[in-house]
Amino acid sequence: MITINELAFSWAKKPIIDIKALTISKGQHLFIEGPSGSGKSTLLNLLAGVLTPQQGQISILDQDINQLSASNKDSFRADHIGFIFQQFNLIPYLSVLDNITLPCSFSSVRKSKALQQSHSLNEEAKRLLKTLGLTEYDLLQRSVNELSVGQQQRVAAARAMLGSPEIIIADEPTSALDSEHRQAFIKTLFTECEKADITLIFVSHDKGLKHHFDHHINLIDINQVNLQEAV
Amino acid sequence: MAIFSLAFKSLWNRKLTFFITLFSIAISVALLLGVQTLKNETKTSFMKSISGTDLIVGARGASSQLLLSSVFHIGNTTNTIKYDTYQEIASAPAVKWAVPISLGDSHKGYTVMATELSFFEHFSYASKQTLALQSGKISDDMFSVVIGADVAKKLNYKVGDSVVMTHGGGEIDGHDHDNIPYFISAILAPSFTAIDQTLIISLEAMQAMHTEDHGHFGALPNEQTINSEDAHAHHSEHEGHEGHDGHDAHDGHDGHDGHDGHNGHDGHNGHEGHEGHEGHEAHDGHEGHDGHEGHDGHEGHDGHEAHEAHEAHEGHEGHEAHEGHEAHEGHDAHEGHEGHEGHEGHEGHEGHEGHEGHEGHEGHEGHEGHDAHEGHEGHEGHEGHEGHEGHEGHEAHEAHKAHEAHEAHEDHEGHEGHEGHKGHKGHEGHAGHKHNETADQRVARMLKIKPDQINAIFIGLTSPQAVLGMQNYVNNYQAEPLSAIIPAVALQELWSFFAIAEVALNIVTVFVVLVGLLGMLSIILMSLNERRREMAILRSVGARPAHIFSLIIGEAVAVCFAGIAAGITLLYILLFSLQTPLANNFGFYLEINMLSFNDLMILATIQICALMIAIIPGSLIYKTSLSDGMSVKF
């Protein structure tokens, strides 16, 4: 599903990532552990095709993404990968509905997949929110600023899942949540990913979450560049 | 959800800064367009100050000075040209019409311009519009004044009001020509030219104010006192005044509307004819003829029928009719005229037939008296014959003079116009006014002096092709140094003086627009930081850096476009709301037009500038979104 081979990336001539090999198979829930500054975000950006490595290949769904043009990379990302970030996932001036359906503006693939699930994007957004435990009827039209952090993260998850992308990359999605919400959030996420057969890459420095995952990697182990020392 | 709607929602999210930016651009655009409009309108209004006049002739000097003084009534008007020169130029074959103007006096700061009645017929501005009246009626009365719209408005004058002119620009007190008051005969409609701030009087009246003793005629030669009763007697004594052709006599009558006193004047009328006969001793004799008794002498003429060989004499029989005059003193004078018709053999007398028209004025006793005048003039010629029995050669000559006078009458169909001169009737109301005339006015009225000198001549030519030739003729005029300017060319030249101010204004407005755009730039730049996260999210859901870039560019273009639209709206609101106050308070008529091609080009330039300026934040965010990727590091 995802294959990384001899990947090396440096920013401003400073090496940040150097990974010999990494394979993630379809449907896998992978926990990538790494302290802050270990190159987690850089790795995610490389996977998303936002950053281009100086060396090596990243192959996603049998496609070497670095052989794609920049705009094709963006389309590829929009079509196949959903993201959940630590915080501020949502665009403040858009409603909950607009935030959730945002990927459909950039990916017709996900739009059509979403419409296979429900007969409208609105319905699909509602369905996803419902599965994520957000059932308030007027939520879709609300401004995202009115939501709690936990609600915001679930809205972000709904957006990541809309149109069933093959991969969801979650970058510390639970760090802003308290532990109770955290467990619940992870559980819902897992359930939904399994249902839709989504490969989940979960990045966190929180070792306490490791036990939820069947696969886990410590970035320090696989990244040849020891950033800790460099810092 | 389309990118456009995303951009709009993003912009709406920052509506306060959006509107501030929009408004600052709107103001700068309105200012820029406003300055352009004002500039164009000022120029147009300036260029419209005079039209239909092919040449302006004045004393030799700078063309701009002549233009400023004659058309705008600005600056020194000390340079003069001789009235004789005017007469000569006016008679040039290429000249269709020529109107003399004389300046130098003022009234409460407003220019007083002396000219002839034909000014109103020939002077035109803008697209060959002649001056229109707001109220009243232009009078040919010597002491009537026609005032501009602003003068009437600012000084709150009405038709019939009395005004006094001040010598010079009014800087020095005590130089009022208060011995010669004028009555306002008409108020002009606004023309938005210098005429609005001008009082227009007759050249004769101007001259009357500026005789050696500033219009105070006082004692004239052979004259001890002036009183209203005797005033007419002066006529006979002004033998030297060539100006006293029969025509003038008419004018004199105008003043005498319907005065019984005319009857008494009849004798006087006889004298007017004498004026034509300058220097004829026989006239002295006439003075004695206060009544038509003088005509009795004519009977004697019958005897002179021997002179009938002279065509002039053919009418002598008519003289007999004059005897009738004697009997007809007063209104009966008409009939006497009819008698004159007997003179038809005289070409001049044919003119009398024209005067029969006067009979139409039956209501105008004065006119009738007038008619009598004319008749008398003819008679005077004949009277001359009496004296000249011995001077047969003279007879013909004198008779001719008389005839000429008549012919003049004929030419002055204006007199026939008198028939229709309801104005006269209208003035009967003014009769009382005239009775209050100052002695100086009465004397001036009788003297009817044309000025020696004038300031400028407006000339219309028979064909546009004649302009250069005529200009050349005037510029090389031998008798005195003159300049002829072509108004359109001189206006253009004068306007070019303002070019530097125009450039300065342009620079200022360009900078105002630039400031508006820089404000927009700084606001966009400031928003970038807080929008980095937004951009990262958009990147994560598949937005390309080009999307991010175009989002910023699009935003700047939209803000600028909205700003321009608001600016245009603002401009028109301002123009429409300022139009009336500007016209009322500053005499500036602001014509509201559609945006010109030039304006649109300016707006397009502004829009393009906004686009170029937006490339700065656009490329900045493009770079940051490339390096930030999806994760914003704060």
Tens digit of pLDDT for each residue in A181-212?
A: 788 788 888 888 888 888 888 888 777 777 87
State residue B267's pLDDT score: 34
Residues of B within 8 A of A91 (CB-CB) are 10, 534, 537-538
Q: Pseudo-torsion of CA B377, B382, B387, B393, nearest 10°?
A: 110
CA nearest to A89 within chain B:
B537
CB contact under 8 A, B542 and A91: no
**Of the listed ranges B130-134, B310-314, B542-546, the one predicted with least confidence:** B310-314
Candidates B73, B3, B30, B11; CA nearest to B595 is B30
CB contact under 8 A, A103 and B12: no
How open is the CA angle B443-B329-B365, to the nearest 5 degrees? 65
CA nearest to A46 within chain B:
B629
Asked if the C-beta of B10 comes within 8 angstroms of chain A's C-beta atoms, the answer is: yes
Task: Kindly state the average pLDDT of the residues B183-193.
Answer: 88
Q: Is the pLDDT of residue B284 over 70?
A: no
Asked if the C-beta of B9 comes within 8 angstroms of chain A's C-beta atoms, the answer is: yes
- At residue B352, the 3 state secondary structure works out as helix
Candidates B21, B30, B20; CA nearest to B603 is B30
Residues of A within 8 A of B10 (CB-CB) are 91, 93
Q: Pseudo-torsion of CA B80, B84, B87, B88, nearest 10°?
A: -100
CB contact under 8 A, A98 and B534: no
Nearest to B630 among A83, A90, A94 (CB): A83
In the DSSP assignment, the letter for residue B166 is: B
Question: For residues B460 and B122, what is the distance between their CA atoms, to the nearest angstrom?
Answer: 8
Contact B114, B203 (CB under 8 A): yes
**Of the listed ranges A148-152, B206-210, B270-274, the one predicted with least confidence:** B270-274
Q: Is the pLDDT of residue A100 over 50?
A: yes
Tell the CATH topology of A2-230. Rossmann fold (3.40.50)
Mutate to test the interface with B, among A11, A65, A93, A97 (most CBs of B within 10 A): A93
Q: Is the pLDDT of residue B67 over 80?
A: yes
* Neighbouring residues of A67: CB distance < 8 A, sequence distance ≥ 6: none
Nearest to B537 among A41, A77, A89 (CB): A89
Candidates B165, B308, B541, B345; CA nearest to A165 is B541
Contact B628, A45 (CB under 8 A): no
Q: Which residue has the higher pLDDT, B365 or B91?
A: B91
Q: Which residue has the higher pLDDT, B417 or B511?
A: B511
Contact A3, A51 (CB under 8 A): no
Q: Which residues of A touch B (CB under 8 A)?
A: 11, 41, 44-45, 48, 50-51, 70-71, 74-75, 77-79, 83, 85, 88-94, 98, 101-107, 159, 171
Residues of B within 8 A of A87 (CB-CB) are none
CB contact under 8 A, A93 and B546: no
CB contact under 8 A, A41 and B6: no
* Cα dihedral across residues A16, A21, A24, A29: positive or negative: negative
Candidates A124, A159, A71, A175; CA nearest to B550 is A71
Candidates B451, B250, B438; CA nearest to B358 is B250
Asked if the C-beta of B16 comes within 8 angstroms of chain A's C-beta atoms, the answer is: no
Residues of B within 8 A of A106 (CB-CB) are 541-543, 547
End-to-end Cα spacing for chain A: 33
**Of the listed ranges A149-153, A222-226, B62-66, B467-471, the one predicted with least confidence:** A222-226
In the DSSP assignment, the letter for residue B189 is: P
CB contact under 8 A, B631 and A71: no
Question: For residues A166 and A81, what is the distance between their CA atoms, to the nearest angstrom?
Answer: 6
CB contact under 8 A, A48 and B534: no
Residues of B within 8 A of A92 (CB-CB) are 13, 534
| Proportion of chain B in helix, strand, coil states, percent, rounded to 5 | 60, 10, 25
**Of the listed ranges B64-78, B129-143, B280-294, the one predicted with least confidence:** B280-294
CB contact under 8 A, B9 and A92: no
Task: Kindly state the average pLDDT of the residues A44-61.
Answer: 83
Residues of B within 8 A of A45 (CB-CB) are 629-631
Tokens of A111: 């739009």
With tokens 């397009």, the residue in question is B604
CA nearest to B629 within chain A:
A50
CA nearest to B542 within chain A:
A78
- At residue B160, the 3 state secondary structure works out as coil
Contact B247, B409 (CB under 8 A): yes
Nearest to B629 among A50, A75, A79 (CB): A50
Residues of A within 8 A of B538 (CB-CB) are 91, 102
**Of the listed ranges B141-145, B254-258, B568-572, the one predicted with least confidence:** B254-258
Asked if the C-beta of B532 comes within 8 angstroms of chain A's C-beta atoms, the answer is: no
Mutate to test the interface with A, among B8, B531, B537 (most CBs of A within 10 A): B537
Question: For residues B378 and B294, what is the distance between their CA atoms, to the nearest angstrom?
Answer: 13
Q: What is the overall mean pLDDT for chain B?
A: 68
Tokens of B57: 């002739």
- At residue B129, the 3 state secondary structure works out as strand
Contact A57, A3 (CB under 8 A): yes
Mutate to test the interface with B, among A99, A105, A111, A166 (most CBs of B within 10 A): A105
CB contact under 8 A, B538 and A91: yes
| Burial of B287 from C-beta contacts in 10 A (0-12 / 13-18 / 19+) | middle
CA nearest to B633 within chain A:
A41
Task: Kindly state the average pLDDT of the residues B398-404.
Answer: 37
Query: What is the Cα A115 distance to its own chain's centre?
Result: 21
CA nearest to B4 within chain A:
A105
CB contact under 8 A, A101 and B544: no
Say which amino acid occupies B89.
I
**Of the listed ranges A122-136, B176-190, B275-289, the one predicted with least confidence:** B275-289
CB contact under 8 A, A45 and B3: no
Using H for helix, E for strand and C for coil, what is the string for B374-422? HHHHHHHHHHHHHHHHHCHHHHHHHHHHHHHHHHHHHHCHHHHHHHHCH
Asked if the C-beta of B6 comes within 8 angstroms of chain A's C-beta atoms, the answer is: yes
Confidence of residue B311 (pLDDT cuts 50, 70, 90): very low
Tokens of B271: 């004298």
State residue B242's pLDDT score: 36
Nearest to A91 among B537, B544, B632 (CB): B537
With tokens 């959940």, the residue in question is A84
Asked if the C-beta of B629 comes within 8 angstroms of chain A's C-beta atoms, the answer is: yes
Enumerate the domain spans of chain A.
2-230
- As separate numbers, helices (DSSP H) first and strands (DSSP E) second, chain B gives 27, 14
State residue B360's pLDDT score: 33
pLDDT above 70 covers a percentage of chain B that reads 61
Q: Is the pLDDT of residue B470 over 50?
A: yes
CB contact under 8 A, B541 and A171: no
Question: For residues B484 and B468, what is the distance between their CA atoms, to the nearest angstrom?
Answer: 10
* Neighbouring residues of A137: CB distance < 8 A, sequence distance ≥ 6: none
Question: For residues A82 and A194, what is the distance between their CA atoms, to the nearest angstrom?
Answer: 15
Tokens of B346: 């005289």
Task: Collect contacts of A13-16 with beta carbons under 8 A, ≥24 apart.
Answer: A14/A230, A15/A225, A16/A42, A16/A225, A16/A227
Contact B229, B439 (CB under 8 A): no
Candidates B251, B554, B581; CA nearest to B423 is B251
Residues of A within 8 A of B632 (CB-CB) are 88
Question: For residues B374 and B387, what is the distance between their CA atoms, to the nearest angstrom?
Answer: 20
How open is the CA angle A105-A110-A115, to the nearest 5 degrees? 100
- DSSP E strand stretches across B252-362: none
Tokens of B477: 């005029």
Candidates A64, A158, A11, A130; CA nearest to B631 is A11
Question: For residues B261 and B491, what is the distance between their CA atoms, to the nearest angstrom?
Answer: 53
Question: For residues A197 and A161, what is the distance between their CA atoms, to the nearest angstrom?
Answer: 11
CA nearest to A156 within chain B:
B537
Nearest to B629 among A51, A91, A102 (CB): A51
Question: For residues B250 and B413, what is the distance between their CA atoms, to the nearest angstrom?
Answer: 12
In the DSSP assignment, the letter for residue A143 is: B
Q: Is the pLDDT of residue B286 over 70?
A: no
How open is the CA angle B346-B352-B354, to the nearest 5 degrees? 125
Burial B399-414 (b: 16+ CB within 10 A, else e): bbbbbbbbbbbbebee
CB contact under 8 A, B533 and A93: no
Mutate to test the interface with B, among A91, A145, A169 (most CBs of B within 10 A): A91
Could you tell me the pTM of the whole model?
Answer: 0.62
State residue B607's pLDDT score: 92
Confidence of residue B632 (pLDDT cuts 50, 70, 90): low
Q: Is the pLDDT of residue B220 over 60?
A: no
